[in-house]
Structures are given as C-alpha cells and as structure tokens.
C-alpha cells in the first residue's frame, strides 16, 4: 500500500476541488492510503482517504496562505511516497517541491490553462510564467486533455515521458439516475457553473433562450452556481426580458446536485470559441449530466468531449438558430440509459485513476531502469 498526499490550491467546492476529491477516492479504491488537504466540507469520502481540513474560507490571498502552511505541514507530517500538487501555483508546488526533497515521487496536476482566462489582466503574465516554470520542478505533470499535453510539452519543454494523462472522472455513487417517474415533466434546462471568468458562455446561452422566448416556447433556464459575475448576469436577464424564465439558484453543495438534475429535462453547455481557455478544458459537469442520463446540448471546443459524441446534441458555436433547434431536440429526447451506463462503466474515478496508476508505474519503472543503466555505464568507465 502506497501513501499519497494531495495538496489543494483552491477550495474543495470549486471544480478543481471536486476533481481532487475524485482523485483521492480513486486512489483509495485502488488500494492506497490517501491524505487530502483542503478547505470546505468533504462528503462522499472513500475508505482510506484522510481529510486534513483547513478551517474557514476567506479571501483568495488569505486562503492561499492558509493552504500553503497546511500543505507544507502535511508534507512534513505524512512523509508521503507520492505527492500531487494541484495547479502550477506556489502554495501547492513549493510544498510539493519539499516532498520531492524528502524522497517522494511528485506530480503536478495541471488541470487547466489558468492564464488563458485572464487575458489583458495585470496578473496574467505572472500566471503564464508559473505555468512554464513550475512543471519543471516536479517529477511528472498530469493533464486531462490532449491540448494540455501538447501545451506542457511545447511551451514548458517537458519530454513526453514526463507527461501523464489523468482523465476527468465522475463519482458514480453520487450521480446515479433516478426512476423515470421521479423526473420533472416540465421544460427545465440546467446550466451549472461557477459564475466567474469560466462562465462567459452564459451570455450566449441567455441570448439563445431569448430567441426561444420570442418564439413562444415554454421553458425555464435553471442557473446553478454563485460567483462574482452574478450581478452582471442578473442585469443581463432583466435587459433581455427573461425575468421568470431564468432562475438563479445560487451555489448548491455538490452532494445535492443529483437532486437538482432530477428537476431538469436537459442541460446546456457552452464554451466561447473566442476564449483561448475553452480548448484546454475538461468538463466535469457534462460528464455528470450524462451520468444522470440528461440530454446535453453543447458546442465543441477542443477534444475533451469527443469521447461522448454519441450522447451529445451538438450545435455550432455562435449560431443562435441552431442552438434553439438543438435545445428543443434535447428536451424532446428524454433520459438516456446508454449515457448513464457509459459513464458508470468507463469514467468512474476508480477506473480513471486505475489507468493512471498503471501508466505511472510503467513510467516510474522505466525511469528507475534508465538511472540504473546510467549508473552501470558510469562505473564501467571509472573501472576502465
């Protein structure tokens, strides 16, 4: 049994936090002892996962400082065999570097191209610098899309052997379809996202639903998520005359999302093609929608959703007329047992992490063999 330590960079209620909880559960279900540092509540914890909770959440700077101290202390306290640092950020990578010095195999979970969300902002160059520098400090870098793999190889200069695929999985025990008669019979369409820089696609979704309203279609758009952009989106709803048609539910705990999804007939996802971040993303929400059997209307940006094309209703980005038609098809489809089965059988965290561990074992064994062979060659030269 190996001992793993996962160092958080954001609250566990964020998309990154949900990913880290899934990785922790997947590692534990593959026979490892796991320690996870983080802020916020952690439910649906697998046997073998030990949660090191950082009390309270504050502003981003204070939270980062608290996580830095907690991450550093967890490294010293647990002395892990393997350590995962979340995102190329100093409050996770620097403690991860300490774990490397102490003998751990260290990995950076590069789960997004953060700098691409902040084009034109003063801190964007700093984020970009950290994305190019920090992957070099740890043994391996984990990515969840082909585009991110190419990014770290070309821009960071990592050899292919130092880049590992760690897909985006789902928690099948949480996202299980309900009985057919449990679902809402109305035309509720779900959009779930943190209402920050990653939710810019909601502007197009609102424009599309305005077109639906102008055609007299009966629907409700349920927006789940909180964040700093909420006032801006709320004003946009008023300007478009969508009051009563669009409902903002606010932030909802992750464990309650299956109940929310049971209210919907379909879900919508939109990645703005003009945002360079879109093609690097891996959508946990689309995977969760499909696990619940929800029909999903989405555009495509990057390769992330290519594996799910048979279960998706795809429209062209920016095409409002096609968006409307696609939403109507998704609402009319009804729940899909095929998508639920596919996600449960092939995309659970246990399976995703199992594949990752197999690849890591092969890479680690290969690296050790290379080091051993190099040592033999050196000794032969010295003896000659």
Averaged pLDDT score across all residues of the chain: 89
pLDDT of residue 372: 39
- For the chain, what percent of residues have pLDDT higher than 70? 92
Residue that the structure tokens 């909420």 belong to = 230
Residue that the structure tokens 């995309």 belong to = 347
CB-count burial class (<10 Å; 0-12, 13-18, 19+) for 166: buried
Distance between CA 211 and CA 273 in Å, rounded? Answer: 21
CB-count burial class (<10 Å; 0-12, 13-18, 19+) for 197: middle
pLDDT of residue 197: 84
We report the CATH number of the domain holding residue 321 as 3.40.50.2000
Residue pLDDT, tens place only, 321-337: 999 999 999 999 988 89
Cα–Cα separations (whole angstroms), residue 317 to 131, 162, 327: 28, 34, 13
Distance between CA 183 and CA 186 in Å, rounded? Answer: 9
Q: Has residue 46 been placed in a domain?
A: yes
pLDDT of residue 184: 54
Who has greater pLDDT, 88 or 55? 88
Residues 266 and 291 in one domain: yes
Q: Has residue 361 been placed in a domain?
A: yes
Residues 145 and 275 in one domain: no
pLDDT of residue 206: 96
- For the chain, what percent of residues have pLDDT higher than 90? 69
Distance between CA 316 and CA 199 in Å, rounded? Answer: 18
Cross-sheet strand order for the sheet of 220-224: 246-250, 220-224, 188-192, 266-269, 296-298, 312-314
Beta-carbon count within 10 A of 358 CB: 11
pLDDT of residue 365: 72
pLDDT of residue 109: 97
> Over 50: is that where the pLDDT of 180 sits?
no
Q: Has residue 181 been placed in a domain?
A: no
Produce one character per residue of 277-315: b if its CB has 16 or more CB atoms within 10 Å, e if not: bbbbbbbbbbbbbbbbbbbbbbbbbbebbeebeebbbeb
Who has greater pLDDT, 363 or 193? 193
Residues 205 and 324 in one domain: yes
Residues 43 and 160 in one domain: yes
Beta pairing partners, 109: 86, 142
Residue pLDDT, tens place only, 60-83: 788 889 999 999 999 999 999 999
Residues 224 and 106 in one domain: no
Who has greater pLDDT, 181 or 198? 198
Q: Has residue 179 been placed in a domain?
A: no
Residue pLDDT, tens place only, 21-48: 999 999 999 999 999 999 887 777 889 9
Could you tell me the maximum CA-CA distance found in the chain, to the nearest angstrom?
88
Residues 279 and 313 in one domain: yes
Residue pLDDT, tens place only, 272-312: 988 888 889 899 999 999 999 999 999 999 899 999 999 99
> Over 80: is that where the pLDDT of 366 sits?
no
Residue pLDDT, tens place only, 117-147: 888 888 889 999 999 999 999 999 999 999 9
254-260 mean pLDDT? 90
pLDDT of residue 56: 66
**Residue 159 sits in which domain range?**
3-169+348-377
339-350 mean pLDDT? 94
pLDDT of residue 179: 52
247 SS3 class: strand
pLDDT of residue 367: 55
Q: Has residue 204 been placed in a domain?
A: yes
User: Is-above-0.75 flag for pTM?
Assistant: yes
Cα–Cα separations (whole angstroms), residue 380 to 20, 370, 372, 375, 377: 45, 15, 12, 9, 5
Tokens of 158: 């990592």
DSSP class per residue in 71-96: HHHHHHHH--SEEEEESS-HHHHHHH
> Over 70: is that where the pLDDT of 384 sits?
no
Distance between CA 50 and CA 80 in Å, rounded? Answer: 13
From the list 352, 136, 80, the residue with the least C-alpha distance to 360 is 352
> Over 70: is that where the pLDDT of 375 sits?
no
pLDDT of residue 243: 92
pLDDT of residue 383: 46
Q: Has residue 382 been placed in a domain?
A: no
Return the top range by mean pLDDT from 97-111, 150-164, 248-262.
97-111
Q: Has residue 28 been placed in a domain?
A: yes
The pLDDT-based confidence of 178 (bands split at 50, 70, 90) is low
Distance between CA 107 and CA 85 in Å, rounded? Answer: 6
250-264 mean pLDDT? 91
Q: How many domains does the chain have?
A: 2
């Amino acid at each position: 049994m190996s001992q793993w330590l996962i160092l958080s960079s954001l609250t566990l209620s964020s998309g990154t936090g949900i990913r880290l909880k899934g990785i922790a559960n997947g590692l534990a279900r593959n026979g490892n002892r796991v320690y996870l540092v983080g802020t916020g509540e952690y439910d649906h914890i697998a046997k073998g996962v030990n949660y090191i909770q950082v009390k309270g959440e504050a502003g981003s700077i204070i939270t980062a400082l608290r996580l830095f101290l907690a991450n550093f202390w967890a490294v010293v306290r647990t002395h892990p065999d393997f350590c995962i640092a979340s995102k190329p950020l100093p409050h996770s990578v620097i403690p991860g570097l300490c774990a490397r010095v102490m003998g751990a195999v260290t990995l950076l979970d590069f789960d997004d191209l953060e700098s691409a969300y902040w084009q034109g902002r003063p801190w964007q160059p700093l984020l970009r610098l950290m994305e190019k520098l920090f992957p070099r400090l740890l043994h391996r870098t984990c990515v969840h899309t082909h585009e991110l793999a190419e990014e770290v190889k070309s821009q960071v200069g990592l050899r292919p052997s130092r880049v590992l695929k760690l897909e985006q999985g789902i928690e099948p025990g949480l996202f299980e379809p309900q009985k057919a008669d449990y679902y809402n019979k109305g035309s509720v369409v779900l959009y779930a996202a943190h209402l920050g820089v990653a939710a810019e696609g909601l502007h197009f979704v609102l424009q599309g639903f305005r077109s639906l309203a102008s055609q007299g279609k009966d629907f409700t758009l349920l927006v789940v998520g909180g964040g700093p952009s909420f006032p801006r989106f709320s004003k946009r709803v008023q300007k478009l005359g969508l009051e009563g048609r669009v409902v903002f539910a606010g932030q909802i705990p992750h464990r309650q999302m299956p109940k929310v999804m049971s209210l919907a007939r379909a879900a919508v996802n939109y990645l703005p093609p003009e945002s360079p971040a879109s093609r690097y993303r891996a959508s946990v929400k689309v995977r969760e929608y499909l696990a619940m059997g929800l029909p999903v209307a989405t555009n495509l940006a990057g390769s992330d959703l290519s594996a799910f094309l048979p279960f998706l209703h795809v429209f062209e980005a920016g095409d409002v007329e096609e968006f409307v038609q696609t939403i109507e098809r998704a609402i009319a489809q009804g729940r899909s047992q095929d998508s639920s089965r596919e996600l449960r059988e092939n995309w659970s965290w246990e399976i995703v992490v199992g594949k990752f561990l197999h690849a890591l074992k092969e890479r680690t064994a290969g690296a050790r063999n290379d080091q051993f062979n190099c040592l033999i060659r050196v000794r032969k030269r010295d003896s000659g």
